[in-house]
Amino acid sequence: MKSNRRTFVIHTAVGAGALVAACMAQAQPKPALVDEKDPQATALGYKADATKVDKTKQPKYAAGQDCSNCALYQGKPGDAAGGCPLYGGKQVSAKGWCSAYAKKG
């Protein structure tokens, strides 16, 4: 009887530990992508696809510019998306663009 109870206690402790680990993993989801309709994105004319930028509204835009070659982009080369300090904790698309674009030096 005694050993059964001990086994139960150990199993319960392991189970609780796994649950805590699972919860912690869920507490750190991948950062969300910036939505073009977010207020900040609208204000800066952000497009997730730079080729869709309306040049009549964004005369600064030039073909070839996108987040992946912007000085503010924090993603690594090859990443599909990365952080941008202008959009808080959200990620911008590597192929995106906004009017705050600054060519990487």
Residue 58: Cβ within 10 Å count: 16
State which of positions 1-40 bind ligand SF4 (CB under 6 A). none
Judged by beta carbon, residue 22 or residue 43, the one nearer ligand SF4 is 43
Tell me which stretch binds ligand SF4 (CB under 6 A): 6-14, 16-24, 55-63, 69-77: 69-77
Q: How far is CA 85 from CA 2, 9, 55, 91, 92, in A?
A: 58, 48, 24, 9, 10
Cβ 99 to ligand SF4 shortest distance, Å: 7
Options 48, 53, 81, 84; binder of ligand SF4; rule CB under 6 A = 84
Cβ 28 to ligand SF4 shortest distance, Å: 23
Q: Which two tokens stand for residue 35?
A: 């939505």
Q: How far is CA 35 from CA 11, 48, 66, in A?
A: 44, 8, 16
Q: Which residues bind to ligand SF4, rule: CB under 6 A?
A: 46, 67, 70, 72-73, 84, 86, 92, 96-98, 100-101
